[in-house]
Amino acid sequence: MRKATPHDLPRLFELIGHMHAGSKFAAMGIGVDSAVARSLLLTAVNRHGGQHDGSTCCFVTEKDGLIEGFIIGILQRVYLIGNRLEANDLFLYVSPNAPRQAATKLLDGYLAWALSNPKVAIVKLSWTDAMGVDGEALEKLYKRKGLRRSGGIWERVGQ
């Protein structure tokens, strides 16, 4: 695992496409706005490692020199108005070709980044059914990492 660089952006964009293609959103006909996705990735790479509102972490994992997974996290004010920060994951994706422990190592990098910041009061990780993730296995991993369940996500499909 290592910090992402601007050189990695084309591969990260490619992986975003793979991730989206396997999601329920692709099946619903929802596409990826390429300009917005590229901007988000560039911002994540450029703001990596900061310790203030809007800072990010962006780590990648490789196999045989090719990026096969990534995690992006962001710092924001608690409830967007607090005087302390919370860390939130935006994406955690590993391709089928990623090394066996890739997701765990990326998760460890995210947690280390978030927990090393004295301004961070809360570290959050989430998952949805968008990718067909095994929620029970992920919950076990999150618990092993010291996290606890806090709420849920409810949705209603719009028009």
Distance from C-alpha of 118 to C-alpha of 121, rounded to nearest angstrom: 8
Cβ(1)–Cβ(57) below 8 Å: no
Return the beta strands (E) in the chain as ranges: 2-3, 56-63, 66-77, 85-94, 120-124
Cβ(47)–Cβ(56) below 8 Å: yes
Instruction: Given CATH 1.10.10.60, say whether it is the number of domain 2-144.
Output: no
pLDDT above 70 coverage of the chain, percent:
100
Q: Residue 58, Cβ neighbours under 10 Å: how many? A: 28
Give which of 81, 19, 8 is closest to 41, Cα–Cα: 8
Q: Kindly state the tokens that stand for 96.
A: 């089928």
Mention every residue, 6+ apart, whose C-beta is less than 8 A from residue 156: none
pLDDT digits (tens, 9 = 90+) for 43-71: 999 999 999 999 999 999 999 999 999 99
Q: The pTM is what? A: 0.93
pLDDT digits (tens, 9 = 90+) for 77-89: 999 999 999 999 9
Mention every residue, 6+ apart, whose C-beta is less than 8 A from residue 42: 6, 9
pLDDT digits (tens, 9 = 90+) for 27-48: 999 999 999 999 999 999 999 9
Q: Kindly state the tokens that stand for 89.
A: 């994951």
In the chain, count H helices and then E strands: 5, 5
The DSSP call for residue 130 is: G
The domains of the chain are located at 2-144
